[in-house]
């Protein structure tokens, strides 16, 4: 991943630092029309980010840009957090602190604002988020198993069936598709296109669906 820094003259619509991606919160799905074509989009709400730390190979063992966003309450912030985030302009720390791994950190400085113009219409991104959790599910719903006959006294119905082996190895092999927790996993979808960026509303429109429920934090990274 690469990172570039660029000074902007209009601080209301653009930041003075640009990274290789952004974090935004999922609002929901909608649709836009372009040249008579209906395009399904996911609406993402961008919260202004500021650089809170620049990590280098010499000091931290790897290179990354740490950003903070969404101001936290004083009662929820420790003294160490307040001191760490003060350079980024947060009086009482930030609720969200995340990182972007980068190849170069030259020019990045603590306190620089990251503008929504980091992403532009037509950019291809990969999105990462926590998928919607569906709780403990049986194999029919979790893995789309066909199940057994519904009648004639089969007694099978929605059960998983045989899962074991013979005397050797005498155990259930790892990865066997069985009942268990469904969802609530980190999911990445690649090659989604930015349909539009609306700076005055801090909104990003991504073509198609992205993982997670409403208000899920989504990471967008240029590819």
User: CATH no. for residue 217?
Assistant: 2.40.30.10
Q: What is the mean pLDDT of residues 8-22?
A: 60
pLDDT tens, position by position, 29-87: 999 999 999 999 999 999 999 999 999 999 999 999 999 999 999 999 999 999 999 99
Q: Residue 137: inside a domain, yes or no?
A: no
The answer on pLDDT for 221 being more than 60 is yes
Give the DSSP per-residue string, the chain: ---B----S-TTT--SBB-SEEEEEEEEEEEEEETTEEEEEEEEEPPPEEEEEEE-HHHHSS-EEEEEEEEPPGGG--HHHHHHHHTTT-SS-EEEEEEEE-S--TT--TTPEEPGGGS-TT-EEEEEEEPPP--EE-HHHHH------SSTT---TT-------BTTB-SPPTT---SEE-S-SEEEEEEEEEEEEEGGGTEEEEES--SSSTT-EEEEEE-
Q: Residue 170: inside a domain, yes or no?
A: no
Q: Residue 144: inside a domain, yes or no?
A: no
Q: Residue 92: inside a domain, yes or no?
A: yes
The domain of 100 spans 21-131+185-222
Number of domains in the chain: 1
Q: Residue 4: inside a domain, yes or no?
A: no
pLDDT tens, position by position, 144-186: 999 899 999 988 899 998 888 899 999 999 999 999 999 999 9
Q: What is the pTM of this model?
A: 0.83
């Amino acid at each position: 991943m690469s990172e570039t820094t660029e000074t902007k003259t209009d601080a209301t619509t653009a930041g003075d630092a640009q990274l290789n991606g952004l974090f935004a919160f999922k609002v929901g799905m909608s649709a836009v029309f372009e040249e008579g074509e209906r395009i399904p989009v996911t609406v993402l709400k961008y919260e202004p980010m500021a650089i809170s730390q620049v990590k280098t190979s010499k000091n931290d063992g790897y290179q990354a840009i740490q950003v903070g966003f969404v101001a936290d309450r004083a009662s929820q912030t420790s003294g160490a957090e307040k001191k760490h985030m003060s350079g980024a302009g947060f009086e009482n720390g930030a609720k969200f602190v995340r990182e972007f791994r980068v190849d170069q950190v030259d020019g990045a400085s603590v306190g620089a604002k990251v503008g929504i113009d980091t992403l532009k219409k037509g950019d291809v991104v990969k999105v990462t988020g926590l998928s919607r959790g569906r709780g403990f599910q049986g194999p029919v719903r979790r893995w789309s198993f066909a199940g057994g006959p519904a009648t004639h006294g089969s007694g099978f119905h929605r059960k998983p069936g045989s899962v074991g082996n013979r005397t050797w190895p005498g155990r259930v092999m790892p990865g066997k598709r069985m009942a268990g927790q469904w969802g609530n996993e980190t999911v990445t979808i690649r090659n989604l296109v930015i349909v539009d960026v609306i700076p005055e509303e801090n909104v990003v429109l991504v073509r198609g669906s992205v993982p997670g429920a409403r208000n899920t934090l989504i990471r967008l990274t240029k590819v």
